Amino acid sequence: MGAKSGTDIKNLALSPVQTTRAYSFDISNRPSTSPKSSDDVAQPEHDPYLVESRSSVSAPPAANNNNTTPIYLMGNFYPPSPTQWTDFQRDFTNGLIWCTYRHSYAPIKPSNFTTDVGWGCMLRSGQGLLANALAIQFMGRDWSRPVPGDANWEIYVRILSWFLDDMNAKSPFSVHRIALLGKQLGKNIGEWFGPSTTSQVTKALVHNFPESGLGVYVTTDGVVYKDQVEEAATLKKKDGFGHLLILVTIRLGIDKLNPIYNDAIKTTFEFPQSLGIAGGRPSSSYYFVGYQGDDLFYLDPHHSRCVVETKELSEYVAEDFATYHCEVVRKIDINSIDPSMLLAFYCRDRSDFDSFCERVKEMNTRPGMGSSIFTIGEKAPDYGDDEGHVLSVADEEDDDLELIL
């Protein structure tokens, strides 16, 4: 994921590139406990209102010392070699955007929440999926964290500014907007999201911000339908099919992941279109980004950082966004993850989507693969009663933003 020449920031939406101390919080902001739905990952059993974050650089785990097992990181392949772990960790730290809990931001009105600690982990995992999709769209798959003066610096700053925690028009993907859109889908502010809610909110956020230049397709029945993809990939696009985020929400078991799906899950990280998986384990949401053997590598949103101040783009320095990159590589055995998850893929154009479809078909017919986790279909069935509904959010500067789902 080396640096790549960037796009003129003025044409950002039109020309995408072809140990810190612990924090404690007022418990009056705790969300009320609600029953877990089939959509949600299990709720935390520990007290999440005391979160310690660490910034030490991780050494290769013992299991990686022999460098004999391949590593995949969102479509990037690291073959066994003496430099495998060093190369992988460099790209893990500098080529991924890490979204975590934040605190001390303006209240998410009409609530009094000034932090999402304890309830926002899936919201942050969803932010991570979207942020990395946009980074790839505008800086290329081989992008690496820039510094002031680099060709991609202004684009990088603009993208991250979209995710700052503020209810204004400059931050269309803030936790404030995510929480408020979730409220219209039955999730109270301060309540955990599941993969389905996260996917629908992501679709609404992107639709309400055309400057992203991105289309979003969501499927909840395990089938990616080509006719619906065509519609999503060309909606509001002058240049036809392009720049598509595909979100697949699935549940692969009842209380725990059925191991028959393990190989298929891991194979998705090998796709060049991979954006990882927003999922988790039975007490937390994680953003899974790659694998080695039976270990999944992930970005952990359960580390609270102070909110980044909103200011003019030209005023930001590299240190402002240091907490959006993770230096510690974490892993979990695939058999320990929750069965509910949100798979994400980015297709740059029609050719890329066709390649994605071929990879899905090949994965599902590969000998010894086990059971398929999703498939490709030509045309979606017509149920006749899906009239959709509207999600809208008003901010401090704009009129209502809305989306018919």
Catalytic site positions: 121, 300, 302
Structure tokens at 321: 């966004």
CA pair distance 86, 82, nearest whole angstrom: 9
Alpha-carbon dihedral angle through residues 44, 45, 48, 54, given to the nearest 10 degrees: -80
Residue 294 vs residues 95, 267, 345, 350, 363: alpha-carbon distances, Å: 23, 11, 21, 33, 18
CA pair distance 258, 366, nearest whole angstrom: 19
Using CB atoms within 10 Å of the CB of residue 12, give its burial: 0 to 12 exposed, 13 to 18 middle, 19+ buried: buried
Burial code of 85-104, b = ≥16 C-beta within 10 A, e = fewer? bebbbebbbbbbbbbbbbbe
Cα 391–chain centre separation: 20
Structure tokens at 395: 């901010």
103: left (phi over 0), alpha (psi -120 to 50) or beta: beta
| 280 neighbors 294 (Cβ within 8 angstroms) | no
Structure tokens at 311: 């200011």
In degrees and rounded to multiples of 5, residue 71 shows phi and psi of -120, 140
Cα 47–chain centre separation: 25
| 391 neighbors 184 (Cβ within 8 angstroms) | yes
Nearest Cα neighbor of 96 from 149, 54, 139 is 139
CA pair distance 177, 170, nearest whole angstrom: 12
User: Running DSSP on this structure, what letter comes out for residue 115?
Assistant: B
| 277 neighbors 362 (Cβ within 8 angstroms) | no
User: Running DSSP on this structure, what letter comes out for residue 105?
Assistant: P
| 220 neighbors 199 (Cβ within 8 angstroms) | yes
